[in-house]
Amino acid sequence: MNCILNAFELFKTNTCQASVLAVVSFALGLVAMCLICKAKCRCGRDKGVGKALDRKMGMAKKNDDRPFEKRKPHPAPADGSIEIYVGNLSYEMTEEQLRKEFEAFGTVNSARLIINKFNGKSKGFGFVHMPSREEAEKACAALNDKEILGRRMKCNEAKNLI
């Protein structure tokens, strides 16, 4: 830093040379900052430098090397039941109420709401398992867009993608 200041004092008489020196020192500083960023930050991930840092800081993602299309889907439920996704539910709905809505169309193996782990409230969607495909399709057709507790619920067969 001192040598740069000394160079500026030498070029006090010639402002053109001083401005060129200022621009060059700024550019060198910018290049140095980019090199440090590539070595230390997550932006260097493409070259493998950032991955080790991500793992060290606990930021590494599962399956980050595989695109979504290549992931294997989860298998169907082991007992052969059909899993139904039920969305746009009222936040006041209980698992018991959800079960009763689907039991009108056949046997229900299980009904569960997805709960926010931090506040214990419903996230507004859930899953229902029914043993028979015919009953499940009948229930989905009847309950899709049906208004329950002030909201029109959506239901279809779960995709089991992740």
**What gap in Å lies between CA 143 and CA 123, rounded to an integer?**
19
User: Has residue 46 been placed in a domain?
Assistant: yes
pLDDT at 94: 93
Q: Is 52 in the same domain as 95? A: no
Last residue of a domain, one of 57, 73, 99: 57
pLDDT at 12: 59
User: Has residue 20 been placed in a domain?
Assistant: yes
Q: Give 73's contacts (C-beta < 8 A, 6+ positions apart).
A: 159, 160, 161, 162
Mean pLDDT by 10 residues, the chain (162 residues): 62 64 76 72 52 52 50 59 92 94 93 92 93 92 93 89 58
**What gap in Å lies between CA 50 and CA 64, rounded to an integer?**
13
pLDDT at 22: 74
**What gap in Å lies between CA 63 and CA 161, rounded to an integer?**
14
Q: Is 142 in the same domain as 89? A: yes
Look up residue 158 and give its amino acid.
A
pLDDT at 159: 81
pLDDT at 131: 93
pTM greater than the 0.75 cutoff: no
pLDDT at 26: 81
Q: Give 94's contacts (C-beta < 8 A, 6+ positions apart).
A: 113
pLDDT at 24: 73
Q: Is 107 in the same domain as 141? A: yes
Domain that holds residue 103: 82-157
Q: How many domains does the chain have?
A: 2
Q: Is 89 in the same domain as 151? A: yes
pLDDT at 35: 74
